[in-house]
Amino acid sequence: MEAADGKEAVELFDGQPIDLLITDFNMPSMNGAELIQKVRAMKSYAYMPILLLTTEVRQEKIQQALDGNITAFIKKPFETQDFVKIVKKALK
Protein backbone atom coordinates (compact mmCIF):
# COMPACT_ATOMS: atom_id res chain seq x y z
CA MET A 1 0.00 0.00 0.00
CA GLU A 2 1.13 3.49 -0.71
CA ALA A 3 0.15 6.92 0.41
CA ALA A 4 1.37 10.23 -0.95
CA ASP A 5 1.33 12.05 2.38
CA GLY A 6 0.58 11.60 6.05
CA LYS A 7 -3.09 12.49 5.76
CA GLU A 8 -3.67 9.93 3.08
CA ALA A 9 -1.76 7.40 5.14
CA VAL A 10 -3.90 7.80 8.25
CA GLU A 11 -6.95 6.98 6.17
CA LEU A 12 -5.43 3.64 5.22
CA PHE A 13 -5.23 2.63 8.86
CA ASP A 14 -8.89 1.76 9.18
CA GLY A 15 -8.52 -1.36 11.27
CA GLN A 16 -7.44 -3.72 8.49
CA PRO A 17 -4.41 -5.80 9.37
CA ILE A 18 -1.18 -4.08 8.32
CA ASP A 19 2.19 -5.68 8.90
CA LEU A 20 4.55 -2.76 8.72
CA LEU A 21 4.65 1.00 8.33
CA ILE A 22 7.60 2.64 6.63
CA THR A 23 7.47 6.40 6.61
CA ASP A 24 9.65 9.39 5.98
CA PHE A 25 9.85 12.14 8.54
CA ASN A 26 9.53 15.09 6.20
CA MET A 27 6.22 14.90 4.37
CA PRO A 28 3.65 17.39 3.19
CA SER A 29 0.52 18.01 5.27
CA MET A 30 1.49 15.85 8.24
CA ASN A 31 4.98 14.96 9.35
CA GLY A 32 6.21 11.51 10.28
CA ALA A 33 6.06 12.09 14.00
CA GLU A 34 2.41 13.09 13.94
CA LEU A 35 1.53 10.16 11.71
CA ILE A 36 3.28 7.72 13.99
CA GLN A 37 1.64 9.06 17.11
CA LYS A 38 -1.78 8.93 15.48
CA VAL A 39 -1.31 5.38 14.25
CA ARG A 40 0.17 4.09 17.49
CA ALA A 41 -2.80 5.43 19.38
CA MET A 42 -5.12 3.10 17.44
CA LYS A 43 -5.69 -0.19 19.18
CA SER A 44 -5.16 -2.33 16.09
CA TYR A 45 -1.74 -0.88 15.44
CA ALA A 46 -0.37 -0.57 18.95
CA TYR A 47 2.26 -3.23 18.31
CA MET A 48 2.90 -2.87 14.60
CA PRO A 49 6.54 -2.40 13.57
CA ILE A 50 7.30 1.10 12.35
CA LEU A 51 10.41 2.15 10.45
CA LEU A 52 11.18 5.84 10.17
CA LEU A 53 13.47 7.33 7.56
CA THR A 54 15.43 10.32 8.80
CA THR A 55 18.36 12.45 7.81
CA GLU A 56 21.50 12.58 9.85
CA VAL A 57 21.05 16.17 11.01
CA ARG A 58 17.83 15.83 12.90
CA GLN A 59 18.14 12.26 14.03
CA GLU A 60 18.82 12.86 17.67
CA LYS A 61 15.97 15.27 18.20
CA ILE A 62 13.46 13.07 16.46
CA GLN A 63 14.72 10.02 18.24
CA GLN A 64 14.06 11.63 21.58
CA ALA A 65 10.59 12.69 20.60
CA LEU A 66 9.53 9.32 19.29
CA ASP A 67 11.43 6.97 21.53
CA GLY A 68 9.22 4.15 22.68
CA ASN A 69 7.07 4.29 19.57
CA ILE A 70 9.39 3.26 16.84
CA THR A 71 10.96 -0.05 15.89
CA ALA A 72 13.98 1.35 14.07
CA PHE A 73 15.30 4.47 12.44
CA ILE A 74 16.81 4.26 9.02
CA LYS A 75 19.32 6.96 8.31
CA LYS A 76 19.30 8.45 4.83
CA PRO A 77 21.13 7.77 2.63
CA PHE A 78 21.08 4.01 3.08
CA GLU A 79 22.26 0.96 1.13
CA THR A 80 19.48 -1.08 -0.46
CA GLN A 81 20.71 -4.31 1.08
CA ASP A 82 20.70 -2.81 4.57
CA PHE A 83 17.20 -1.54 4.01
CA VAL A 84 16.01 -4.94 2.80
CA LYS A 85 17.60 -6.61 5.80
CA ILE A 86 15.85 -4.29 8.23
CA VAL A 87 12.47 -4.62 6.53
CA LYS A 88 12.76 -8.41 6.45
CA LYS A 89 13.59 -8.43 10.11
CA ALA A 90 10.71 -6.14 10.98
CA LEU A 91 8.30 -8.46 9.17
CA LYS A 92 9.39 -11.56 11.11
Q: Which residues bind another protein (CB under 8 A)?
A: 15-17, 40, 43-44, 46-50, 68-72, 85-86, 89-90, 92
Shortest Å, Cβ 75 to another protein: 14
Shortest Å, Cβ 65 to another protein: 14
Kindly tell me which of 57 and 92 has the beta carbon lying closer to another protein: 92
Long-range contacts for 21-24 (Cβ within 8 Å, ≥24 apart)?
A: 21/45, 21/48, 21/49, 21/50, 21/51, 22/50, 22/51, 22/53, 22/87, 23/50, 23/51, 23/52, 23/53, 24/52, 24/53
Shortest Å, Cβ 14 to another protein: 10
